[in-house]
């Protein structure tokens, strides 16, 4: 009897342990999911519909607009890429005012500023203990200045977030191309992430040229990522990183169909699950950033794993990334910046705009004025949602209270449809004239919509006004102005029941009035 009891006890322990094993597999709701060999096509699409951003990815997405400040020794040599042999004595921005930088960016609606703390030339804008090729060898403030500190202080004072760009490529370091350089790089990364308060974004590019010894470096990306996770756990790691991907161009334009859920390939198949769970997702998905199609059903159905990997669109307000005097009259026009906004933020991406300070250490007047006018047009365009007081016609689809959550300018309130392809009919409080549609999915539920259209009732008939594919965090579509009192939004294809946070109709403000 004792033997039988022991057998039953053993079987019982095995049975109760099975759920614990299941809990250790990759969950189906999160920013990463495995595709199993046994998954059907429907299973895969369902999994894709439930991949959601991490908290840090969501906080990053909601900023919508961020700034890049390319500033350094190149500003004084009139170059884009330095060679690492430049004389630090050239660096002397006698009127440097980080407060002016922050105010300019904040007034333009940006929420974070990324500074080129070190570009490929290796010149450091802070008092690094590990090199003399820095501001401490310059005449600026008698070698006592620290650009990173001044910007960090100004960001805190004005309620802006700080981001850091630290180029892994270093054309000055004598140890570049050796394992010792990885130690050097981590030491500098540690300085930047421990001495200046909270850092919300660390931005890497993939530049990997030769150093002064003619060698190329094998970057220890996993070590870099782990350092960032330990020192700044709330920071996203962008572009060459696990949290944010590059859109694929520097034009300022995203894809018409932009999925944040994409197939993820990694170099080391054996370690991917462990890294995802144990280190907070420190593996970097291998993505063809310039591909036209990243996340369609065709891509999903041949994937081994899916990951939330949102798009960042970077562009400079000038032809170059560093300041050049001969480009003072070539600042992008307000009209061009508006087009970029609608084609980046309006296409489920975050816009990272470069605004380079000049030799004085100030953002040039032309740039400041253009940004001011651009922001004014955007504010006036989106200050009045013409659908805000609309009455829902088909109450079987959603209630009167639910429709309010779509037009309350509050992303945290949302409506989850009872079906995959709902049609919502809005009757506005009078006839309205509009030329822009705003839609937002509640992506913490999932990015799901694959196709939609907006129609207006004109002369008693429904007429197509505009249509699109993905929505994601935000979709903006412009069209010739329409005057109507009734419109309807039809979700024509979706991966699961859509969750919509915002619906808006707007009339574009005139550029000429600014």
- Structure confidence at residue 266 (pLDDT): 61
For the chain, which residues make up each domain, given as ranges?
A: 64-260+310-382, 391-506
Architecture category of domain 391-506 in CATH: Sandwich (2.60)
Buried b (16+ CB within 10 A) or exposed e, 71-102: bbbbbbbeeeebebebebeebbbeebbbebbb
Which pLDDT score is estimated for 288? 80
- In three-state secondary structure terms, 427 is strand
Q: Give residues with Cβ within 8 angstroms of 187, minimum separation 6.
A: 129, 130
Query: Which comes out higher in pLDDT, residue 181 or 391?
Result: 181
What would the mean pLDDT of 17-29 be, rounded to a whole number? 36
Q: 286 to each of 140, 245, 307, 350, 449, how far by Cα in Å? A: 42, 10, 11, 20, 25
Please report the pLDDT score of residue 18 as a whole number: 30
Question: What is the average pLDDT across 36-53?
Answer: 96
Cβ 191 vs Cβ 227: under 8 Å: no
User: Which helix (H) or strand (E) covers residue 432, if one does?
Assistant: strand 423-441
- Would you state the pLDDT for residue 283? 64
296 vs 286 pLDDT, higher one: 296
**Given pLDDT bands bounded at 50, 70 and 90, which one contains residue 163?**
very high
> Is 70 exceeded by the pLDDT of residue 255?
yes
Query: What is the SS3 assignment for 17-49?
Result: HHHHHHHCCCCCCECEEECCCCCCHHHHHHHHH
State the pLDDT at residue 25: 37
What is the arithmetic mean of pLDDT over 375-381? 98
The CA distance from 469 to 471, in Å, is: 7
Q: What is the pLDDT of residue 172?
A: 98
Between 9-13, 117-121, 202-206, the lowest mean confidence (pLDDT) is in 9-13
d(CA 106, CA 95): 20
In tens, the pLDDT along 323-360 reads 999 999 999 999 999 999 999 999 999 999 999 999 99
pLDDT digits (tens, 9 = 90+) for 61-107: 999 999 999 999 999 999 999 999 999 999 999 999 999 999 999 99
The mean pLDDT value for 382-407 works out to 86
Does pLDDT of 398 surpass 70?
yes
CB of 124 within 8 A of CB of 118? yes
- pTM for this model (two decimals): 0.91
User: What does 198-248 look like in DSSP terms, one character per residue?
Assistant: ---EEEE-----B-TTSPBP---HHHHHHHHHHH-TT-EEEESSSSBEE-S
Greatest CA separation for the chain:
94
Q: What angle do CA 386, 388, 389 make, to 5 degrees?
A: 105
Provide the pLDDT confidence category of residue 265 given band limits of 50, 70 and 90.
confident
Of all residues in the chain, the percent with pLDDT exceeding 90 is 83
Question: What does the pLDDT read at residue 282?
Answer: 61
Looking at residue 394, what is its pLDDT? 80
What is the pLDDT at residue 190? Answer: 98
List, for residues 420-446, the tens digit of each pLDDT value.
Answer: 999 999 999 999 999 999 999 999 999
Report angle CA 316, 321, 325 to the nearest 5 degrees. Answer: 105
> How high does pLDDT run on average in the chain?
90
Q: Which listed CATH number (3.90.110.10, 3.30.565.10, 3.20.20.80, 3.40.30.10) goes with 64-260+310-382?
A: 3.20.20.80
Does residue 403 carry a pLDDT above 70?
yes
For 461-474, letters b (16+ CB in 10 Å) and e give eeeebbebbbbbbb
Q: How many CA atoms lie within 13 A of 342 on its CB side?
A: 19
Q: Are 72 and 322 in contact (CB under 8 A)?
A: yes
pLDDT at 442: 98
pLDDT category of residue 512 using cuts at 50, 70 and 90 = confident
DSSP line for 285-302 = PB--TT-S-SSSHHHHTT
């Amino acid at each position: 009897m004792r033997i039988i009891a022991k057998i039953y006890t053993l079987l019982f322990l095995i049975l109760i342990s099975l759920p614990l094993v299941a809990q250790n597999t990759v969950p189906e709701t999160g920013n990463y999911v495995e595709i199993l060999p046994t998954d059907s096509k429907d299973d895969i699409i369902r999994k894709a519909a439930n991949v959601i951003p991490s908290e840090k990815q969501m906080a990053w997405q909601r900023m919508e607009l961020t700034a890049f400040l390319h500033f350094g020794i190149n500003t004084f040599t009139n170059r884009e890429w330095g060679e690492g042999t430049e004389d630090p004595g050239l660096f002397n921005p006698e009127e440097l005012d980080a407060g002016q930088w922050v105010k300019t960016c904040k007034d333009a609606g940006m929420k974070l500023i990324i500074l080129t703390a070190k570009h490929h030339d290796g010149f450091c804008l802070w008092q690094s203990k590990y090199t003399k090729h820095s501001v401490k060898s310059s005449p600026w403030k008698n070698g006592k200045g620290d650009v990173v500190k001044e910007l960090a202080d100004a960001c805190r004072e004005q309620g802006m977030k700080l981001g850091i760009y630290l180029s892994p490529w270093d054309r000055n370091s004598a140890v570049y191309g050796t394992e010792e350089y990885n130690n050097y790089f981590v030491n500098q990364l540690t300085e930047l992430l421990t001495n200046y308060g909270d850092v919300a974004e660390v931005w890497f590019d993939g530049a990997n040229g030769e150093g002064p010894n003619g060698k190329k470096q094998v970057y220890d990306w996993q070590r870099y990522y782990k350092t960032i996770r330990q020192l700044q756990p709330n920071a996203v790691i962008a572009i060459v990183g696990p949290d944010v991907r590059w859109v694929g161009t520097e034009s300022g334009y995203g894809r018409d169909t932009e999925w944040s859920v994409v197939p993820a390939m990694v170099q080391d198949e054996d370690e991917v699950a462990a890294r995802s769970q144990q280190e907070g997702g420190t593996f970097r998905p291998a993505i063809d950033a310039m591909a036209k199609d990243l996340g369609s059903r065709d891509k999903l159905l041949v994937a081994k794993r899916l990951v939330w990997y949102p798009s960042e669109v970077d562009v400079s307000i000038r032809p170059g990334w560093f300041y050049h005097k001969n480009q003072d009259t070539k600042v992008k026009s307000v009209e061009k910046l508006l087009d970029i906004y609608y084609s980046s933020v309006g296409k489920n991406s975050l816009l990272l705009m470069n605004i380079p300070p000049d030799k004085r250490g100030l953002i040039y007047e032309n740039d400041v004025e253009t940004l001011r006018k651009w922001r004014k047009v955007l504010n006036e365009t989106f200050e009045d949602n013409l659908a805000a007081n609309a009455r829902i016609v088909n109450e079987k689809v959603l209630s009167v209270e639910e429709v309010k959550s779509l037009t309350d300018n509050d992303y945290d309130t949302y409506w989850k449809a009872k079906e995959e392809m709902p049609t919502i009919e809005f009757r506005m409080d009078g006839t309205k004239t509009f030329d822009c549609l705003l839609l937002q999915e509640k992506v913490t539920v999932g990015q799901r919509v694959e196709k939609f259209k907006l129609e207006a009732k004109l002369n008693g008939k429904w007429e197509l006004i505009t249509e699109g594919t993905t929505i994601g965090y935000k979709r903006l579509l412009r069209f010739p102005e329409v005057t109507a009192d009734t419109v309807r939004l039809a979700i024509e294809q979706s991966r699961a029941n859509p969750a919509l946070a915002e619906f808006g109709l707007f009339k574009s403000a005139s550029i000429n009035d600014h």
